[in-house]
Structure 1
Amino acid sequence: MVNTMMDNLGIPPLAGICSYETADKPGYQVDFTVQLLKRYNYVKAHLVDIAAAHLPATPEWEVKCALSHHMWLDAEHSLALRKRVSEMREPPLGLDRVPDEQLKVWLDEAIRANDTTELLTGIYAVIRPALLQSMKLYAQEANPLADHPTWRLLRQILREEEEMLDWGFQALQAFTSQASEHAVQSDVWAAHLSAYLQHAGGMHGNELVHHVELPQPRNDGKPYEMAAAPRRDDRFQDHYNNSALIDEYYQDEALLADERVFALYYKRLREMDVPEWMAPILFKTKGQPWEYYSDLSRQLWDEARHAMLGEVGLYSCGVPFYRYPVDLKSSMSLNVDLEPIESHVLLWAIEQGLMNKETGKRWEWLISKQSGMPLAATVQDYDWADEVLHAQIGRRWLVPKFGSMEVMQKEAKLAWKKWDEAKAKYAGLSKQEEWWPQFVQEMRSGYDSAGA
C-alpha cells in the first residue's frame, strides 16, 4: 500500500465516511452487490410471510407482539432493498423472482415450523443470524465510499436486526429453559434448517457447498396452508365472553371519567384480534406490489401496538392484561368463516367509521384528555393518528380492487351481514359471566395506590 501524505487542513477527509486506507480497496462489483441484495430481499419478504402465516395460531401474546413488529421492519427493509437495487442499472429488476432455487427450498422448510419453539428457532437461531453475519461481512468488505448507499442501508438494517435478534434470543431461551425436550427440539430443528441453508451456499450464496446430507423435507410439494384460527395461551380464559359492553361504557356520560378511560384501555387491549385477522389477509393475498404488503404490515403492527398500549394501561393500574376475558370471536369468525377480501373490506369499513368527528377517534381522545389521566390521553392521541392512516391505506388498495367507492361500500355491507351471522355461533361458547365491575374496582384500587 502506498503511504501517501495528504494535507487535509486538519479536516476529516472523505466526508467522514471512512479513511483513505479503507476506501483504497476494490470491495464488491455492482453485479455481485445486486445479486446479494436480491437474496436479502427474498429472505426479508419470506420473513414477512412466515410471521403472517404463524401469528394467529401462535398462542403466546408476547410472541404475537414481536412477530407483528418484526414483520413490519422486514417489510420496510425489503422496500428499501428493492429501491437500492432499482438504482443500480438493473432494469428489469426481477425482484419478485426466485434468486436461487435452493434458497427457496430452505425457506419453504422454515415456514413449516410445528410450534412456537420451532418458529422462534427458525427465525432467531438460523435465519436472522445468517442475515446478520452476511450483512456484517458485506459492510466489512465493501468499499464504503464507492458503494456508500448500500453500505449505509445495510448498517441501518443491521442495527434493527441486532435488536430483533436480542429479543429472539431471550424469547427462545425462555422456551428451551422450561423443559429439556424443548431444548432438544430446538437443536434438531436448527440443524435441519442449517443443512438446507448450507446446501444453498449460505446467505451470501458463494460458500463452497460440500456434500450435504439433507434431512427429510417437511415440504410435500404443496403450497403451505396457514393455520388461521387464532389461539391464546393458558393465561387467558373464557375467550368468547362479551358480557362487558366495552364499546358502550366509554361512551356513557353517566359513568365516572375513570371507568370510561378503563373501558378505552380495554378496547385497546382487545385490538390484538386485528393483527390476528390481518395476518391471513397478508399471507393469502398474492401478486400485489410490495408496497401493499409494506402498508398492511405497518397497519398490522400499529394494531398490535395499540393492544400493547392497552396492556400498559392495565399495568399502570396494577392489573395483568390476561386476568380478564379478551374476546376472541372477531378474529376467529373472520379467519374461519370469511374470505380475506371480506375481512379486509370490513377492516376498512370499521376504520372509516372511526373517522366521525363526534363519535370516533377524536371523541375517544377528548374523553381521555378530559379525564385528567395523562397516559390515557397519550394513548388515544396516537391511536387517533394511526387510524387516520389506516383508513387511507384501506382506500388506497381496496378502491382499485372493487372499482369504485360505491361498490366497496356495498360489499362491506354484505360482508358485515355475513360476519354478524358468523359471530353469533361463538357466543354460546361462554357462560357470559359478568366480570366488568370487579375489573373496574381492581383498576381503581391500583390507580389510587399508584398515586396517579
Structure 2
Amino acid sequence: MERVRNNNLGLIPLAGICSYEQACNVGYGIDRSVSLLKRYVYVETQLTNIFAAHLAHVPEWEVKCAFGLHMWLDAEHSAMLRKRITEMREPPHDLDKTPDTAIELFFQELIRSQTTLELMVGIYGVAKKELIRSLNKYLVETNPLVDHPTCRVLKIILVEEEEMQLWGEQAIQALKITEEDRIAAQQWQEHLQCCLQAAGGFSGDLEKSANWTPTTPRAEDGKPYDMEVEPRRDARFADKYNSAGKIDEYYLEETRPSDERTYALIYKRLKEMTVPEWMGPIIYKTKGKPWDYYVDMSRQLWDEARHSMLGEVGLYQDGVEFYKYPIDFRTSLTLNTKFEPLEAHIILWYFEQRQMPKKTGKRLEWEIAKTSDNELAITFQDYDWADEVLHTQIGRKWLVPEVGGLEELKQKAEELLPRIVEERAKLDERSDQKQWWPDFLTEMRAGRDRTR
C-alpha cells in the first residue's frame, strides 16, 4: 500500500537503505536489540575460545589453517558487536556474562568434541548455521532505518559467517570417510541440536522439539574443560621431530646460491605453523583480559598461519608437496607442555623482536629474496616483514604492563631461553635426524626448471 506519493525528484529516498514502507516497521526497541546482541557477543566469543582450544590438537593441516582465520574473524565479530552495544544507551558492562545457561551448556558440550569431525559438525553444522539464521531473522524484523548501525554490523558479519559455514560444510563431507563416521557425526549433531533447541536457539525464539531427547551431556561432571595442548599432525607428515634442516643457517650463509637461500626462507615460512599451535593455548588459557587482547592475539595467530600457507604455496609453485619433508613441531610441543602461557607469550615476543634488526632480521630476509628470480617469494617476504612489525607491537602492548617494563621483559625472556633450548634438544632424540635438505633442494630446482 502506497500511503502517499512523495516527490523525490526521481531520486531514491532514505539514502537507499529501504523503502518508506519498510521504514514504517516498528521493529526492535533498544532493550530487545541489546538483549539479542549480547547473545550474539557470547556466541562469537565462545567460538573464538573453541578455535583457540583446539587448533593445536587437530591433526589436519587444512583445518588448522581455517581455524586460524575463523578464530580471528569471530574475535573481530565479537568486538564489532561489543562496540555497537556500548552505543545503545546500555552501559558497557556484563558483555562477558552468560546470557542464558542453556546456551552455555551447548558450548560446554561443543568444546568437548572428541574428533575433528565432531568439532566441525558442532561449529559449522550447528553453531554457525544457527548464528546465520539468527542474524538473518534480526535483519528481517528490525527497522532498517532507525537501527541502521546495527544492521550494517550484522550484514558485515553475515558475509564472513556464511563464507566460514560454507567451508565448514564442505570439510564435514570430506571427513565423513566411513559409514561409522557418518553415524557418529549424525549422533553428535542431533545431541548438540537438542542442547541448542533447549535454549530456544541463539535468539531464544525456537520451540523445543518433543522428538529429541539429549544424550548424557559430556559436561555433566561439572569439571572445567581441560584442553589438549599437545600439537598433532596428520599421517601425511613424517619425522615431526627432525631438526636436521638448519633453515636459518642456510639463508644466512652468503656463500650459498641465492635460490637456495630463498628456498630456505620459503621453508621457514612453512614451518611457522608451530606458532599458531603454541598461541592457541596462550589465548585460551589467558583469562580476564580486555577483549582487545584476544582480538590482537587472534590476528597475530592468523598472520602466522597465513605465513605458513605462504610457504605451502611457495612449494606448490615449484611442484613439491608441502608435507613431503619434515616440518618439526618441537617448539610448540615444548612451549605448550613445559611453559606457562605468560612464559610462552614472552618467548614469542622475544623471537619476534630478534627479527627486527636490519642486518639479521626481516629486512635482510626480503633483500635475500630480491637477489633471486623468485618474484612470489619477494612478495611473500615483503608482507611477512610488515606483519612481524605489527606482532612486536602487539607483544609490547600486552606484555610490558604485565612484567613492569621493556627491560624487565627482555630480561625475563633471556632467563627463559635456556629452558626452551634444553627441552627442544630432548625431543631431537625422537628422530634419527636424517638429512633431507639436499633432496628437497634438488626437487625444488627441478620443479622450477619444469615451470619456466
Stretch deviating more after TM superposition (231-240 or 408-417): 408-417
Residue type at the aligned position of 2:179: S
Q: Distance in 1 between matches of 2:136 and 2:130?
A: 10
Is the Cα–Cα contact under 8 Å of residues 47 and 74 in structure 1 kept in the other structure? yes
Whether 1:179 and 2:178 are equivalent positions in the alignment is yes
Asked whether the equivalents of residues 122 and 189 of structure 2 are also in contact (C-alpha less than 8 Å), the reply is yes
One-letter amino acid matched to 1:3: R
Q: Note if contact 1:117-1:172 (Cα within 8 Å) is conserved in structure 2.
A: yes
Q: Which residue of 1 aligns with 2:34?
A: 34
1:280 maps to which residue? 281
The residue aligned with 2:370 is: 369
Number of residue pairs matched?
450
In the other structure, the counterpart of 1:49 is 49
The offset of 1:92, in angstroms, is: 4.5
Aligned partner of 1:147 in structure 2 is 147
Contact kept, 8 Å, 1:57 with 1:228, in 2: the verdict is yes
RMSD: 1.0
8 Å CA contact retained: 1:130, 1:203: yes
In structure 2, the partner of 1:195 is 194
- Counterpart for residue 293 of structure 2: 292
Alignment partner, residue 74 of structure 1: 74
Q: State the partner residue of 1:417.
A: 418
Contact kept? 1:58, 1:64, Cα under 8 Å? yes
The equivalent residue for 1:343 is: 344
Question: In structure 2, how many angstroms separate the alpha carbons of the residues matched to 1:429 and 1:92?
Answer: 51
The Cα of 1:356 is off from its aligned counterpart by: 0.4
Mapped to 2, the partners of 1:370 and 1:244 lie a distance apart of: 22
Contact 2:334 2:420 in 1 (8 A): yes
Pair 1:245 & 2:264 matched: no
Maintained 8 Å contact 1:237/1:324:
yes
Q: Which residue of 2 aligns with 1:403?
A: 404
How far did 1:413 drift? 1.1
Corresponding residue number in structure 1 for 2:445: 444
Give the Cα separation in 2 of the matches to 1:106 and 1:116: 18
Does the 8 Å contact 1:113/1:119 carry over to 2?
A: yes
Runs (5+) with no aligned partner, structure 1: none
In structure 2, the residue corresponding to 1:35 is in which secondary structure? helix
The separation in 1 between residues aligned to 2:92 and 2:391, in whole angstroms, is 32
Q: Deviations over 1:90-145 (max 9, x none)?
A: 01431011111111111111100001010100001000000001111111111110
Q: CA shift at 1:215, angstroms?
A: 1.9
> 1:299-322 CA deviation, whole Å, 9 max, x = no partner?
000000000000000000000000
Percent identity, aligned pairs only, is 54
| Pair 1:10 & 2:15 matched | no
Question: Matched residues in 2 for 1:400 and 1:277: separation?
Answer: 22
> Normalising by the residue count of structure 1, what TM-score does the alignment of the two structures yield?
0.98
| 2:132 counterpart residue number | 132
Unaligned runs of at least 5 residues, structure 2: none
The structural deviation recorded for 1:88 is 0.3
Query: Residues 381-424 of structure 1, C-alpha deviation per residue, up to 9 Å, x if partnerless?
Result: 00000000000000000000001112111110121111111111
Q: Does 1:313 align with 2:347?
A: no
Tell me the alpha carbon deviations over residues 165-216 of structure 1, each in whole angstroms, 9 at most, x when there is no partner: 111011000011x111111111101001011101111111133346663320
How far apart are the structure 2 equivalents of 1:254 and 1:64?
36
Aligned-partner Cα distance in 1 for 2:22–2:378: 50
One-letter amino acid of the counterpart of residue 190, structure 1: Q
Scaled by the length of structure 2, the TM-score of the pair is 0.98
The aligned amino acid for 2:225 is: Y
* Alignment-mate amino acid for residue 66 of structure 1: A
- 1: CA distance between counterparts of 2:388 and 2:251? 18
Give the corresponding residue for 1:224: 225
Contact 1:85 1:93 in 2 (8 A): no
Please identify, of 264-273 and 89-98, the stretch whose mean Cα deviation from structure 2 is larger.
89-98
1:156 matched to 2:156: yes
Q: Which amino acid aligns with 1:37?
A: L
Q: What secondary structure sits across from 1:96 in the alignment?
A: coil
2:87 equivalent in structure 1: 87
Residue 380 (str. 1) matches residue 381 (str. 2): yes
Query: Distance between the aligned counterparts of 2:11 and 2:305, measured in 1?
Result: 47
Q: 2:85·2:92 contact (CA, 8 Å) conserved in 1?
A: no
